Amino acid sequence: MAAKSSKTQSFETALAELEQVVADMESGKLTLEDSLAAYKRGAELLSFCRSRLDDAQQQVRVLEDGVLKDFSASGDANKD
């Protein structure tokens, strides 16, 4: 299992690696040591992905507060 630095990965790359780690663990073919290493790497990747998602969510909030306007239920912009 290749250990990559989370800091140099994109969200998509980290998510793909996390999915592979999960598949490897679910296969039941890993040794105990490899399972523990995979679990540790999976926890690192999960933390990285959550952090990136939180950052993206914060950026959306900033955009909504500063740029976007409220819309009515019908999808029309509120009229001033």
pLDDT digits (tens, 9 = 90+) for 22-68: 999 999 999 999 999 999 999 999 999 999 999 999 988 888 777 65
Q: Report pLDDT for 6.
A: 46
Domain with residues 12-63, CATH architecture: Orthogonal Bundle (1.10)
Global pTM reads: 0.68
List of residues 6+ apart from 38 with CB closer than 8 A:
1, 21, 24, 25, 30
Dihedrals phi, psi of 44, to nearest 5 degrees = -65, -45
The pLDDT-based confidence of 8 (bands split at 50, 70, 90) is low
